[in-house]
Structure 1
Amino acid sequence: MPDWLEISLRTLSSVVILFIITKLLGKRQISQLSLFEYITGITMGNIAAYISLDLDNDWYLGIVSLAVWVGISVAMEFITLKSKSIRDVVDGRGTVLIDKGVLLRKNMRKERITLDEMLEQLRKKDVYRVADVEFAIMEQSGEINVMLKKEHQPLTPDMLGWRLPQTIEPQTVVMDGHAVDRSLEVAGKDRNWLKRELEKQKVKMEEVFLAQIDSQGELAIQTGTESKAHNPSTKPKDQIAELLKQYEDELYMLERFAMNEDDKLDYRDAINKLKTAMHFYPPPS
């Protein structure tokens, strides 16, 4: 067999073997390497190169070496799953870098991170003042996670006492001009419904690049061209119902935090009047 053909076959075999090994070791081998996994990855790459190019020795010895490394790696994963102490040694532990707005110089030196690097990592989290940080920790992967102090955290609907409608995952029902029957079934629709919706918006199935059904049951169509993009607007009654619901939640919150009984009565009266209007605009089902 010519050398070039043997090398080609060995390389192809190495790629297949490495792919199977990576699947066995799991996604963590790719995304969040521990020190041991990093060493394993480098070693397996070198062994694969040996299998591909070394024509002077028996190539199957490289396969044996790969199998041993995989066995060790898989065994280490099971051991670290069972033992916290071994996991701390193999994967490492998180290190606190900021506590109550104060930089911990000793821990920064331990992780060999400079002030410039620390400030850069904070800016990536949209944090520009160290004093605003309640807690920051460097994870085993090297990523720095940050928790802001209460007064600097962004407002959420829950903080304001708003009760928002539940959001359901959008279902992709058309891709590249072809209907996705499984997604239609999950959304409680069928091809006849899809055909009617496309006819309403004067779009042919083969023109649709992407179409999704949102939590309100509305179909949003993308044709891949700006002039033909179709994004149906929400029904006015549904918009009014959602706004009225937000106002109701705000009034309930104001009533709850009212300073005296007279103010509470005023808010309660406003809520009752608002409920009368909401009767004509029921929330979307």
Structure 2
Amino acid sequence: MGELQAVFSGAKELPLWGFVLRATLLYFALIIGIRWMGHREVSILAGHNYLVAAGIMSLSAVRMVNAEASLTSALLIVFAYAGVNVLYSYLDIKWPKAIDRGPVMLIENGRINKKNLLDTHVTIDNLLGQLRLKAAHNLSEVAYAVLEPTGKISVIKKSPTLPLTRQHMNLPAKYVALPALLVHDGQVDEENLNMLGFDLNWLKSKLAEKGFGRPEEVFVAALQADGAIYVSA
């Protein structure tokens, strides 16, 4: 009982299982906290999200390796961090201009905004590198470049440099859909199969065309948007 209490309150020395237990509890606390904070925290869309993530990870690392640190206080701090972040994110939704940074125009109507570059500490090399990542290799191609609150740069090209689309060629729109999973790791997804209006005999016949005798031999089989069957063993 004394050793278990020491795991939570901290001690000069802890048994090996004590470190394992501390790490496990902190891991689950982090998972619960991150799920509570939602997708926004995972993608770190704002400055306060980054600070929360960095603070929680730093706190957890210290509590995992420092035997004298209190695990109880660490768990409380993790959930306090998460709670403050949820509140701050709510305020950010209500009053975004007051809470978080807004987008900054770096290129406007094809002209570089020197003042905004200086204010945001973005160098010309940084800007050119980000433009290349967006397949804009020449400044003359860019109509607008915006530094988003996430720290990434969005690029809108001038219309003459945009790629040719089916709409430009007056062609009918092409149907686009996600592939429907039919088999995964040898298991038939009967729900998807029924939803598509097919049965197991149809699936087996399609797999036979690909050289597979049974669904159990297949790792992934999916029906693609063009009607073709993708199969991988």
TM-score category, normalised to shorter length? 0.7 to 0.9
Q: For residue 171 of structure 2, what is the aligned residue in structure 1?
A: 162
Distance in 1 (alpha carbons) for counterparts of 2:94 and 2:212 = 56
- Offset at 1:165? 4.2
Which digits, 9 at most, give the CA deviation of each residue in 1:157-190, with x for residues without a partner? 1122111342333212122333221221232211
Q: Equivalent of 1:97, from 82, 106, 117?
A: 106
- Offset at 1:145? 0.9
TM-score under structure 2 normalisation? 0.85
Which digits, 9 at most, give the CA deviation of each residue in 1:188-246, with x for residues without a partner? 211111112223443222332322213343323233xxxxxxxxxxxxxxxxxxxxxxx
Following superposition of structure 1 onto structure 2, how do residues 45-194 of structure 1 map, counting pairs within 5 Å?
45-56=57-68, 58-87=70-99, 90=100, 92-194=101-203
- Offset at 1:86? 2.5
Following superposition of structure 1 onto structure 2, how do residues 130-279 of structure 1 map, counting pairs within 5 Å?
130-205=139-214, 206-223=216-233
Amino acid at match of 2:220: L
Distance in 2 (alpha carbons) for counterparts of 1:167 and 1:39 = 39
SS at match of 1:163: coil
Larger RCO: Structure 1 or Structure 2 (Cα < 8 Å, ≥ 6 residues apart)?
Answer: 2
Given that 1:50 and 1:62 are in contact with CA atoms closer than 8 Å, whether structure 2 keeps it comes out as no
Distance in 2 (alpha carbons) for counterparts of 1:95 and 1:85 = 12
Runs of 4+ in 1 over 4 A off after TM superposition: none
Q: For residue 257 of structure 1, what is the aligned residue in structure 2?
A: none
Given that 2:106 and 2:116 are in contact with CA atoms closer than 8 Å, whether structure 1 keeps it comes out as yes
Across the two proteins, how many residue pairs are aligned to each other?
220
Question: Pairwise CA RMSD of aligned residues?
Answer: 2.0
SS at match of 1:211: strand
SS at match of 1:67: helix
Amino acid at match of 2:107: I
Given that 1:175 and 1:210 are in contact with CA atoms closer than 8 Å, whether structure 2 keeps it comes out as yes
Given that 1:102 and 1:131 are in contact with CA atoms closer than 8 Å, whether structure 2 keeps it comes out as no
Amino acid at match of 1:215: A
Which consecutive unaligned segments of at least 5 residues does structure 1 have? 224-285
Distance in 2 (alpha carbons) for counterparts of 1:39 and 1:168 = 38
Higher mean Cα deviation, 193-202 or 9-18? Answer: 193-202
Distance 1:5 1:201, change over 3 A: closer
Larger CA Rg, structure 1 vs 2: 1
Which consecutive unaligned segments of at least 5 residues does structure 2 have? 4-13
Distance in 1 (alpha carbons) for counterparts of 2:97 and 2:167 = 39
Distance in 2 (alpha carbons) for counterparts of 1:144 and 1:216 = 34
Q: For residue 28 of structure 2, what is the aligned residue in structure 1?
A: 16
SS at match of 1:145: strand
